[in-house]
Amino acid sequence: MILEIVQYGHPVLRDRCVPVEKVDDKLRELVDSMLETMHDANGVGLAAPQIGVPIRLAVVDVSHDPECITYLRVNGNDAKLEDIMPLVFINPELEFGSRKEKDTEGCLSIAEIRAEVSRPADVVARLPQLDGSELVIETDGLLSRAIQHETDHLNGVLFVDRVSPAAKVRLKGKLKRLLE
């Protein structure tokens, strides 16, 4: 089922989400709907607060662009993108590399705004799965950026919070209009 994506200004987007404590059929149905919603909106990620549910759950799918990463290790072994896509995770924990990278980001909850964001290029993500297992993903590129972006949502942080001070000034008017 396609869900409504809440937009900039909705208070749930600023909430620090609560951990997922129980995986049941209702949560699995929510995941299915989130994946369908993300694909319908041509997104590469969607976090539960973006559909109004303040829990630490997100989905990512960057399989449309297998060249978007230079490396991928899952639980210590080299892996292929298609082996883990779409990626569904709860209660993530991230560690970052020291190298930074700038790239343009957008967000399904902030329509029509894109801006350059500097983020760590590399991430080690501990991603609990719905079946109780855990994936430890080491990667870079779009997958690293998408995992970081969606995890930010779970902490009440939006990509516009991470732009440079000059970009914040440029975006101020656009963001104000979105609130109206």
Supply the residues annotated as catalytic: 150
Whether residue 64 is annotated as binding a ligand: the answer is no
| Distance of alpha carbon 98 from alpha carbon 116, whole angstroms | 19
Whether residue 68 is annotated as binding a ligand: the answer is no
Q: Which helix (H) or strand (E) holds 47?
A: strand 45-47
Name the pairing type of β-strands 72-74 and 134-139. antiparallel
For tokens 């639980």, the residue is: 75
Residue type, 60: V
Whether residue 10 is annotated as binding a ligand: the answer is no
52: left (phi over 0), alpha (psi -120 to 50) or beta: left
Query: Residues marked as binding for Fe cation?
Result: 107, 149, 153
Query: Residues marked as binding?
Result: 107, 149, 153
